[in-house]
Amino acid sequence: MIRIAAAGDVHLGRETAGTYRPRLEGLPDRADVFLVAGDLTRHGTPEEGRIVAAELRDLGLPVIAVLGNHDHQSGAQDEVAAILADAGIMVLEGTGTVLDVAGTRLGVAGGKGFGGGFAGRCASDFGEREMKDFVGVTKRFAARFGAALDALDCDVKVALTHYSPSADTLEGEPLEIYPFLGSYLIAEPVDAAGAALAVHGHAHAGTEKGATPGGVRVRNVALPVIKQAYAVYELAAV
Amino acid sequence: MTDEYVAAHVQEAIAAGTHELGVRVDVRGGVVVLRGQVAAAGRCAEIEAAARAAAEGFQVRNEVSVVPLEEPAGGETLR
């Protein structure tokens, strides 16, 4: 059994410093790895990055994170990522990593991702430069993310993004904003890689459980959705 | 001002002023209603202040609450 703890949209800031860590004390007993699905901060400043690092460092289990749109707000995303990495938190951005969990090799690939919408109701790579730029960001991410998933030499694969690979887990959000919440382009590589689970955040008013078009389970772990400090998913070991 | 524009301007003001994007803003019966969940009580007050400043002359009903952060009781087994 591989036990995956996950949470997203923690939105830590000066006024919440020190409030999350006490809720994570039981993590090493409940899970083998902690995945954090972006929006670690509120404004994306280095100061907030240091607050997040203090909350998530040395928890007694591997912590793997991706950044979210809030973590990009101040243009300091690279610095925030470096601060987290210095604290021993692995930050994925179109990259992956493999952990040994009691003899089973767990591979996690991920990154922030981006929007665009879902098949039949999505933005097209066409027309104005700005529209091509928007769709292009997601397309380029999907290519790197797919390559990272393929490259994982492991028994069980898990995908970790901030933006959603599925419309299912957006249920509760206004339909009109789905294109700003995720993209089917994120789901395609998840399906192609035969992942066991895809975890994301970003959609605060969404729904926890869904699936990709190919049937891979998707879980929206944004804190306002799971309404607890983290969720735990148990996958069969191979 | 038309209710729909008021709601849009309040939403913009909350995003720009507090960086909280998960707040639903509706105008119902002439009252600006705020809904959603945030990480700390102080942020509810900031959101309300931003909304009041952007919707002068309107009543504001703040139903934004703080996300509960208890440790989970159990996990989900994926078969």
Q: Tell me, what's the pLDDT at A60?
A: 98
| pLDDT 10s digits, A4-22 | 999 999 999 999 999 999 9
Q: How far is CA A224 from the centre of its chain?
A: 15
Q: Tell me, what's the pLDDT at A93?
A: 98
Using CB atoms, pick whichever of A11, A25, A229 lies closest to residue B70. A229
Query: Helix A129-151 to helix A184-193 angle, to the nearest 10 degrees?
Result: 20
Q: Is the pLDDT of residue A227 over 80?
A: yes
Q: Tell me, what's the pLDDT at A151?
A: 98
Class of domain A2-235: alpha beta
Domain map of chain A by residue range? 2-235
Q: Tell me, what's the pLDDT at A198?
A: 98
Does the distance separating the beta carbons of A15 and B40 come in below 8 Å? yes
Q: Tell me, what's the pLDDT at A108?
A: 98
Q: Is the pLDDT of residue A238 over 90?
A: no
Q: Rounded distance, CA A149 to CA A95, Å?
A: 8
* B29 near A CB under 8 A: no
Q: Is the pLDDT of residue A223 over 90?
A: yes
Q: Is the pLDDT of residue A237 over 90?
A: no
Q: How far is CA A13 from the centre of its chain?
A: 19
Chain A residues close to B75, C-beta within 8 Å:
3, 30-31, 231-234
Mean pLDDT taken over chain A: 97
Q: For residue A26, what is the nearest residue in chain B, using CA coordinates?
A: B71
- What is the average per-residue pLDDT within A90-114? 97
Nearest residue to B47 via CA among B12, B26, B5, B18: B18
Q: How confident is the model at residue A90 (pLDDT cuts 50, 70, 90)?
A: very high
Hey, what are B25's tokens?
């803003």
| pLDDT 10s digits, A180-211 | 999 999 999 999 999 999 999 999 999 999 99
| pLDDT 10s digits, B41-71 | 999 999 999 999 999 999 999 999 999 999 9
Q: Tell me, what's the pLDDT at B51?
A: 97
Nearest residue to A110 via CA among A157, A78, A75, A70: A157
| pLDDT 10s digits, A60-72 | 999 999 999 999 9
Q: What are the distances in angstroms from CA A37 to CA A11, A67, B48, B62? A: 11, 7, 28, 28
Q: Is the pLDDT of residue B1 over 90?
A: no
Chain A residues close to B77, C-beta within 8 Å:
234
Nearest chain B Cα distance for residue A88, angstroms: 23
Q: Rounded distance, CA A124 to CA A133, Å?
A: 10
CATH of domain B3-66: 3.30.1340.30
Does the distance separating the beta carbons of A224 and B40 come in below 8 Å? no
Q: Rounded distance, CA B45 to CA B54, Å?
A: 14
Largest CA distance in chain A: 53
Chain B residues close to A3, C-beta within 8 Å:
75
Query: Burial code of A105-141, b = ≥16 C-beta within 10 A, e = fewer?
Result: bbbbbbbbbbbbbbeeebbeeeeeeeeeebbebbeeb
Does the distance separating the beta carbons of A227 and B40 come in below 8 Å? no
Region of residue A108 (left: phi > 0; alpha: psi -120 to 50; beta: else) = beta
ipTM (interface pTM):
0.88
At CB < 8 Å, which residues of chain A contact B?
3, 9-13, 15-16, 19-20, 23, 25-26, 30-31, 42-43, 70, 73, 196-197, 204-205, 217, 223-224, 226-236
Using CB atoms, pick whichever of A3, A20, A26 lies closest to residue B69. A20
Q: How far is CA A142 from the centre of its chain?
A: 14
Q: Tell me, what's the pLDDT at A189?
A: 98
Domain map of chain B by residue range? 3-66
Please state the three-class secondary structure of chain B as a single string. Answer: CCHHHHHHHHHHHHHHHHCCCCCEEEEECCEEEEEEEECCHHHHHHHHHHHHHHCCCCEEEEEEEECCCCCCCCCEEEC
Which residues fall within 8 angstroms of residue A121, CB to CB, at 6 or more apart? A178, A179
Q: Rounded distance, CA A69 to CA A41, Å?
A: 9
Chain B residues close to A19, C-beta within 8 Å:
40, 69
